[in-house]
Structure 1
Amino acid sequence: MFTGIVQGTAELVAVEEAQEFRTHVLALPAALREGLELGASVAHNGCCLTVTAIDGERVSFDLMRETLRLTNLGQLAVGDRVNVERAARFGDEIGGHAMSGHVIAMAELGEIDEAPNNRRLWFTLPQPYERFLFEKGYIGIDGISLTIGEVRGQRFCVNLIPETLARTTLGERVPGDRVNIEIDPQTQAIVETVERVLAARRSA
């Protein structure tokens, strides 16, 4: 489990390509390597990946074809940075919201509204998932736990404070970029349960 509170960013220092498969090597800061072991879970832009090798600061992760299809990780190149969060441990403070690290889709950044000391980003989510969008609901964007500010059909916005812009890669995003989306699991469960109940009643 993850909390959506990004602990830092890490640079992609090497990429090994294979057929429908990739290995990413990140230069993880010392604080993020503390106690790290093979098999540990680390979220990259909100996508849960498994540690496959550790060589000093260089830590490797494998990406299978489903990960490459559903997330923006396959678009990364050496020198790019990703948001990083280690898996939550029992007793950790949950400052964001519970997240699984399972990306459901990508959304495209369409518009940026600048204002003093904050920034509003407007994204477009693929149509099948717009039913999970609710004003003031939770959403995970590139691994960051955020609150939805407004919903207009498939479009929604989030408001970012300077701390979020400084600690994550969202401050570098420009229109046309695609971000990883994780829907709040509780919201998804409630919506899908209601849909099943209504469908059963209509068919009765």
Structure 2
Amino acid sequence: MFTGIIEAVGEIVACEPRSGDLRLRVKTFGLDLAGISLGDSIATNGVCLTVIELPGDGYVADVSSETLANTTIGDWQAGTPVNLERALTPSSRLGGHLVSGHVDAVGEVLSRHPDARSERFRLRAPDSLAKYIAHKGSITVDGTSLTVNRVEGAEFELNIVPHTLEHTVMGTYVPGSRVNLEVDLVARYLERLLLGDKAAEA
């Protein structure tokens, strides 16, 4: 589990195709890897990846074909900046919201414009996710925990403060940018719970 509070921005060093899936090497720059062991999880632009190698300046992770099909990882190349967050520990502060690192779908940035010292972004989610996006609710965009300011159908707006622009990859977004979306975990479970006994039906 994660909080959606980005700890550092890293960079993709290499994307190596491996028989239908992919192996990634990520340079972590300011992310402290002192407590990271093989098998630990690091959210990389919102995607929970398992560390399989620790070369010293970052980590290596394998990416399955399922993950490639449902995230923006297939768009990445050497030099792509990525948001990084280590997994929660029992002593972590929950500064954002509970984030699983299991991306629901890929969304698109429609527009951005200045709003005082902030930037206002408009994004479009796939229609299937629209019911989970609520005004003043939480959403994760490329691993960043954010508050939804406005919703119209499958489109929603975010007001991003200067600190977030400077310390995440959001500053690089332009209209047409593809982003990883994860909807609020509580909304997912609530939907399933409301099905009652019908949840067991095929």
Is TM (by shorter chain) over 0.5?
Answer: yes
Distance in 2 separating the partners of 1:46 and 1:128: 19
Show the counterpart of 1:181.
Answer: 181
Aligned letter for 2:137? G
Change (3 A) 1:155 1:36: same
Q: Verify the 8 A CA contact 1:132 1:191 in the aligned structure 2.
A: no
When structure 1 is superposed on structure 2, of 106-115 and 93-102 the one drifting more is: 106-115
Change (3 A) 1:30 1:36: farther
Show the counterpart of 2:92.
Answer: 92
Residue 192 of structure 1: how far off its partner (Å)? 3.8
Distance in 2 separating the partners of 1:192 and 1:114: 39
SS in structure 1 opposite 2:171? helix
Show the counterpart of 2:22.
Answer: 22
Show the counterpart of 2:114.
Answer: 114
Residue 58 of structure 1: how far off its partner (Å)? 3.6
Q: Verify the 8 A CA contact 2:31 2:84 in the aligned structure 1.
A: no
The reply on whether 1:80 has 2:80 as its aligned counterpart is yes
Q: Verify the 8 A CA contact 1:141 1:180 in the aligned structure 2.
A: yes
Show the counterpart of 1:124.
Answer: 124
Aligned letter for 2:24? H
* Percentage of identical aligned residues: 35
Aligned letter for 1:24? L
Number of equivalenced pairs: 198
Q: Verify the 8 A CA contact 1:109 1:179 in the aligned structure 2.
A: yes
Aligned letter for 1:82? V
Aligned letter for 2:157? C
Show the counterpart of 2:59.
Answer: 59
SS in structure 1 opposite 2:50? strand
Show the counterpart of 1:148.
Answer: 148
Aligned letter for 2:34? E
What is the CA deviation profile of residues 73-99 of structure 1, one whole-angstrom value per residue up to 9, with x for unaligned ones? 111010111000000100111000011
Show the counterpart of 1:36.
Answer: 36
**Length-normalised TM-score, structure 2:** 0.94
Distance in 2 separating the partners of 1:56 and 1:189: 39
What is the CA deviation profile of residues 138-194 of structure 1, one whole-angstrom value per residue up to 9, with x for unaligned ones? 100000000100000010011100000000001101111110011111022223433
Residue 11 of structure 1: how far off its partner (Å)? 1.0
Residue 105 of structure 1: how far off its partner (Å)? 0.4
Distance in 2 separating the partners of 1:44 and 1:58: 12
SS in structure 1 opposite 2:39? coil
Residue 30 of structure 1: how far off its partner (Å)? 5.3
What is the CA deviation profile of residues 38-74 of structure 1, one whole-angstrom value per residue up to 9, with x for unaligned ones? 1010000111000011111141011010110100111
Distance in 2 separating the partners of 1:179 and 1:118: 20
The reply on whether 1:12 has 2:12 as its aligned counterpart is yes
**Length-normalised TM-score, structure 1:** 0.93
Unaligned 5+ residue runs, structure 2?
none
Q: Verify the 8 A CA contact 2:24 2:63 in the aligned structure 1.
A: yes
Distance in 2 separating the partners of 1:30 and 1:124: 31
